[in-house]
Amino acid sequence: MIDKKHIIDRFISYVTVDTESDPKSETTPSTAKQWDLANALAAELKAIGMSDVSIDDNAYIMATLPSNVDHEVPTIGFISHFDTSPDFTGANVKPQIVENYDGKDIVLNKEQDIVLSPDYFEDLLLYKGQTLITTDGTTLLGADDKAGICEIVSAMEYLIQHPEIKHGTIRVGFTPDEEIGRGAHKFDVEKFGSDWAYTMDGSQVGELEYENFNAAGAVVTVKGKIVHPGYAKGKMVNSMYIATEFINSLPRLETPEHTEGYEGFFHLHNMNGAVEETVLEYIIRDHDKGHFEARKEMMQKLTDELNEQYGREVITVEIKDQYFNMKEKVEPVMHIVDIAEEAMKQLNIKPLIKPIRGGTDGSQLSYMGLPCPNIFAGGHNFHGRYEYVPVESIIKATEVICKIAELTALKAKN
């Protein structure tokens, strides 16, 4: 039995360390404060009895739990990231513990009237009677992905303390900067030495994901001409109006707020404009590779049409691919998904196999030669003040890790 208080104490020790990453930084890790938790994690892995614990110059942590069987078993890995999103502050996190949740509103911050309500966040009702860890309404919590780290460390500790559970060699890896898309950039797959791995970075209990978006970023630059407005007739070209034409020419309902499931989108996430120049920043997402390419072509075609309309180059678009759907790399080795699914079923957890509407380190790692599906970590409402995680979900994810290790060894023997 995994000790609940021990899990709570471990998780809180992680989230109270500020590890917010910074997309504007060029260093790895992108913020020096990520080292605080990284060094503590490396020390903790040694303390619980892990072998080959290392932390490199970029704060990537790796460790080994040696096999305790005498037959050959594939080496598997479990990976999570320790940075938190720059979307909302991760400084001075003050977790609140809600015992035996009653299904009603949770007052996060009385002074600021911040309430976590099941009327808006219906998933809360899935966890009536459980223990929830929430924010105090002024920061994010950091369950993304410190819940994943807590689960991996706790699972390794449990396996060490229970040698009757048979398993092969297990590798664990903790990374910086996942939240800014750089978590796998300097991950040494060869050094990790795993046949396959799982990221513990999903949300609801049962989530099991091996499909994610194909992703690109687009920067649209519109050039105008500034002239004194009193004498501008026939001379001024207002770049903001042309930018508006571009925005309105893309499919209005193919945006994040109108799509779900396998539906892709164009997302205008930043705009900076004046008469002389307007810059639009988009992300392009689609699970289907053909549709993804068509979306990029649509943006280029629209650019060409507007330039033709104005008789000169008033607009340019620069599109850069960011990551691709890991389904292509995981499907040839679907047994790794099957093992995770079976592990959940044996623990009476209903597997929820669905596409990720986002990215994951697992996508990049899969294309780097390490097939890497994603498993639930248990948290909800990531990247904001309403983030919470049920302690029971952390425990279940910990049990899934142990069961995957056990099943992998069992299947290798048979």
**Tens of pLDDT, residues 308-337:** 999 999 999 999 998 899 999 999 999 999
CB atoms within 10 A of CB 34: 26
Residues 6+ apart with CB under 8 A from 10: 150, 153, 154
CATH code of domain 4-211+325-413: 3.40.630.10
Residue type, 270: N
**Tens of pLDDT, residues 251-305:** 999 999 999 999 999 999 999 999 999 999 999 999 999 999 999 999 999 999 9
**Tens of pLDDT, residues 389-410:** 999 999 999 999 999 999 999 9
pLDDT of residue 76: 98
Which is catalytic among the residues 20, 22, 151, 178?
178
Which is catalytic among the residues 83, 144, 201, 209?
83
Specify the fold of 214-323: Alpha-Beta Plaits (3.30.70)
Query: Would residue 207 show up in a list of annotated catalytic residues for this protein?
Result: no
Query: Would residue 83 show up in a list of annotated catalytic residues for this protein?
Result: yes
Return the closest-CA partner of residue 336 out of 406, 408, 403. 408
In the chain, ranges of CATH 3.40.630.10 domains: 4-211+325-413
Q: Assign 299 to helix, strand or coil.
A: helix
Strands (E), 123-264: 132-134, 170-175, 196-202, 207-209, 214-223
In the chain, ranges of CATH 3.30.70.360 domains: 214-323
Return the closest-CA partner of residue 7 out of 101, 130, 117, 116. 130
What span, in angstroms and rounded, lies between the C-alpha atoms of 285 and 85? 20
Is residue 358 very low, low, confident or very high in pLDDT (cuts 50, 70, 90)? confident
What span, in angstroms and rounded, lies between the C-alpha atoms of 69 and 84? 37
Does 181 have pLDDT greater than 90? Answer: no
Q: Are 179 and 81 in contact (CB under 8 A)?
A: yes
Is the Cα torsion angle 83, 88, 90, 95 positive or negative in sign? Answer: negative
Return the closest-CA partner of residue 183 out of 382, 401, 28, 14. 28
**Tens of pLDDT, residues 342-357:** 999 999 999 999 998 8
CA angle 192, 196, 200 (to 5 degrees): 90
Question: The tokens of 317 are what?
Answer: 């678009």
Is the Cα torsion angle 213, 214, 217, 223 positive or negative in sign? Answer: negative
137 Rama sector, left if φ>0, alpha if ψ -120 to 50, beta otherwise: left
Helix axes 391-413, 143-161, angle to 10 degrees: 50
> Which alpha helices (DSSP H) does 139-282 contain, by range?
143-161, 189-192, 239-249
DSSP state of 340: H
**Tens of pLDDT, residues 40-63:** 999 999 999 999 999 999 999 999
Helix (H) or strand (E) holding 345: helix 335-346
Question: The tokens of 394 are what?
Answer: 């952390």
pLDDT of residue 414: 77
> Which alpha helices (DSSP H) does 314-374 contain, by range?
327-330, 335-346, 361-367
Q: Are 406 and 166 in contact (CB under 8 A)?
A: yes
Beta strand pairing status for 207-209 and 388-390?
unpaired
What span, in angstroms and rounded, lies between the C-alpha atoms of 143 and 149? 9
